[in-house]
Structure 1
Amino acid sequence: MNTPAAHDTPPPKPPPAPPLWQIVAARDYEVPADSQPATLQRRWRSLGRLLLGTDDADPAQAEADLRALPQVRLANLAPSIDWAPAARALDAQESLDADAHPPVRLFIGQPYCDHPAILTHWAHARDAVVLAPPDTEQILCADRRWLDELAPGTGRPWVLPELERCFLRHANGLDLVRGFLARALSGALGPGMIGCDSWALAFIERISPLPGTATLTLQAFDGLALTRYLMHPDRGQVRFLSARSGEPLMPEDAGDSGDDRHGAETACPELRQLAAHCRGNPGLAWYYWRQRLRAAPEREQQAQAGEAQHDSPQRADGERLAAADEVVWVAPGIETPTLPAESGEDVAFLLHALLLHRGLESAVLGAVLPIPEGRLHSHLLRLQALDLLVREGTRWQVAPLAYHTVREFLRSRSYLTDSF
């Protein structure tokens, strides 16, 4: 009787990768940690440059030789984030019930993660009523007609996607948000979902505590999740190479393993470090990723084109088929704008107000800040020139790539910050 050899037994299949989009209780949010070896390596390099004047080894591709990608190609390699999967994850977890206690959930949006889009998708899936926030005049005049129009009676759940648009940090700008929260959290409006930016929530909890409210948020993306999302096979036949080492960010056989996690944590230290730098925020990570993608120098592109022309198969009509994968270089380091050394309280007040309200218009900034109009305008233009602020339409916001700098600046001055 023949006994099968031990090596004939197929190896056990690895457990499936966890869902990319996960909704968790806010208390269960886990900020990804950078790997200890990578952290020590960066500190050692910094110490060597400081004490010995040494620098890193020559990179595989000097960043000055790399070229910016055309916007069309960049949009294909790093398309805008589709937040519908996050809404589906929320829909799979949450079942609003008029008898539930508490009847209202609070969804906390991390900066640049577009919680209004997530909740609008969710509202459409649940046939929920989407409540519009009051306008600036209604907020400053405490126009309670806005509250009266929120009376229940439709029998449908409701969603207020942007609680941060319902108040202003002003002596006359808090009545409506207090009145709304009192009605909503008492159950007077029926079952519903409130979306709120994390910075605005930190402020609101100081003026109107939210005891017993169930709070949800999008779970952090670690290095593995960023690898799966940013280098998804849908991006096409692309080889992402590290400009520092010249090595591929994904092993050559990763796409054939059938396991999305294959080699991700060991092959993509760049994305693991990016996840730690962004504190698990996928919206921020997306901006950094786009900023780091580069095309090969022109001479290298011409050489690759010649090799592809020579090695690729030929069709019956004589035209050759492209055989070589596209190479995209990932620039080393994480570049962030810096604040001027002389930045004082005016700048701190301004930046803090923009984060608390998820952006403000110039006229409204003048109402909530004790800064003369001329000086405020000068600060805005200067910070914009330094890539610390961006203007979208009429609303000023902290630039995504400057967020880490601004958050640390405010934290170092003991300003109220968010929990993410």
Structure 2
Amino acid sequence: MNTTSAHDTPPPTPSIWQVVAARDYEVPADSQPATLQRRWRALGRLLLGTNDVDPARAEADLRALPQVRLANLVPPIDWAPAARALGAQESLETEAHAPVRFFIGQPYCDHPAILAHWARARDAVVLSPPDTEQILCADRRWLDDLAPGNGRPWVLPELERCFLRHANGLDLVRDFLARALSGALGPGMIGCDSWALAFIERISPLPGTATLTLQAFDGLALTRHLMRPDRGHVRFLSARSGEPLMPEDAGDSDGDDRHAAETACPELRQLAAHCRGNPGLAWHYWRQRLRAAPEREQQAQAGEARHDTPLREDGQRLAAADDVVWVAPGIETPTLPAESGEDVAFLLHALLLHRGLEGDVLGALLPIPPGRLHSHLLRLQALELLSRAGARWQVAPLAYPAVREFLRSRSYLTDSF
């Protein structure tokens, strides 16, 4: 006899957004079978000069998705759930006596946006960073204006904008941290990029300070995040095998059968490993991998849909249930030229430490002649290793894993994520 009550409801699916202490961050590991398969394919290509499996759809036969379609399938990330997770974790912190907490943002995860949501929810005072001149002159008027908020919490979203890697660019941030950590400013939250934090901990240790961060996204979390069913009836097909990335009922999983869900979508499991669990970085990679069938094939499918799909009340036909999006097996990621030397390494490291810099500030920080620096910037941009937003240069998202590995191999200070 079925004893389930009609009023019983399944337990809510756990949120994919989790905030943890930075020491508890866990980089997702790729599965051993998938790693061995990739190495076997690479060995076959090296020895035989051929691929071991013919793709179901040659990537050359597919085309990029229109920007409107891409924006619908992969819209900008809504960071509000991450802010709610931060608030929930903050309330559980045992180090309640600490006047200040740090929220560490991984590259491309937009910690200022997360903290903007957090600040609105708490009516917190948002502190603006000093400008370049104030930093280099150690202008204490910026510090003097940071008066306590009369009991209101405060948030400084971008600590990486409060210093420069320069002999005259560190005093102001040291004084700010001393004042904030002493409790003189009252309770607050400091947002900081992970690369900047690694540097700051070298020049101004932060013992006993509570540091929080987003937990890594594994393959299951990325699947739920990037292949959400509320974005229309879409079938994601692998260009390598022609098979659906997920079975039709995968979106209804309640999270109990984790192994089955991850096995059903190895592409996103591998993407999670490649991006070290970084959801912002995975978002960029996923957008680049989505493809559409050739136009003539889409027109044929549209003709079939006109006859097969039911009518709405207004007489218009419903959208076709088989809206197919192809997922390329991989994309060509930028690589650094073999002759890249210390000038390039120092430039890339400075951009990561400060989450991007303007060209004139780079010229003041780096021991590189202006003409040569400009040449490096343009060359790296042409190679898609750097991107530019206004006057600010930054490491391009798709180039980040290669740049991080390049710097790590040269024993440069890297972040912990």
Which bracket does the TM-score occupy, shorter chain normalised? over 0.9
1:252 — aligned with what? 248
1:103 — aligned with what? 99
Q: CA deviation at 1:14?
A: 8.8
Q: Separation in 2 of the partners of 1:300 and 1:344?
A: 48
Match of residue 237, structure 2, among 214, 238, 241: 241
Letter in 2 for 1:225: A
Percentage of pairs with the same residue: 88
TM-score, structure 2 length as denominator?
A: 0.94
Q: Separation in 2 of the partners of 1:102 and 1:255?
A: 41
Q: CA deviation at 1:326?
A: 0.7
Contact 2:12–2:254 under 8 Å retained in 1? no
1:267 — aligned with what? 264
Q: Separation in 2 of the partners of 1:91 and 1:214?
A: 14
1:305 — aligned with what? 302
1:224 aligns with 2:220: yes
Contact 2:83–2:115 under 8 Å retained in 1? yes
Mean Cα displacement is larger for which, 82-91 or 148-157? 148-157
Q: Separation in 1 of the partners of 2:110 and 2:133?
A: 25
Q: Separation in 2 of the partners of 1:261 and 1:239?
A: 21
CA RMSD of aligned residues (A): 2.2
Query: Which string of whole-angstrom CA distances, capped at 9 and with x for unpartnered residues, describes residues 76-134 of structure 1?
Result: 0000001111011111222499x942111011000000001111110110111000000
**Matches for 1:4-403 after TM superposition, within 5 Å:** 17-95=13-91, 100-255=96-251, 263-313=260-310, 320-403=317-400
Q: Separation in 2 of the partners of 1:166 and 1:84?
A: 25
Contact 1:352–1:410 under 8 Å retained in 2? yes
Letter in 2 for 1:370: P
Q: Separation in 2 of the partners of 1:267 and 1:47?
A: 26
Contact 1:96–1:103 under 8 Å retained in 2? no
Q: Separation in 2 of the partners of 1:260 and 1:298?
A: 40
Contact 1:96–1:192 under 8 Å retained in 2? no
Secondary structure, counterpart of 2:393 in structure 1? strand
Q: CA deviation at 1:272?
A: 0.1
Q: CA deviation at 1:19?
A: 1.8
Q: 1:109 to 1:316 in 2, by over 3 A?
A: closer
Structure 2 segments unaligned to the other structure (5+ residues): none
Structure 1 segments unaligned to the other structure (5+ residues): none
Q: 1:139 to 1:96 in 2, by over 3 A?
A: farther
Q: Separation in 1 of the partners of 2:242 and 2:257?
A: 22
Q: Separation in 1 of the partners of 2:375 and 2:106?
A: 29
Q: 1:75 to 1:171 in 2, by over 3 A?
A: same
Q: Separation in 2 of the partners of 1:259 and 1:207?
A: 43
Query: Which string of whole-angstrom CA distances, capped at 9 and with x for unpartnered residues, describes residues 244-288 of structure 1?
Result: 011111102324556696742111100000000000000000000
Contact 2:44–2:52 under 8 Å retained in 1? no
Q: Separation in 1 of the partners of 2:210 and 2:315?
A: 65
- How many residues were matched structurally? 412
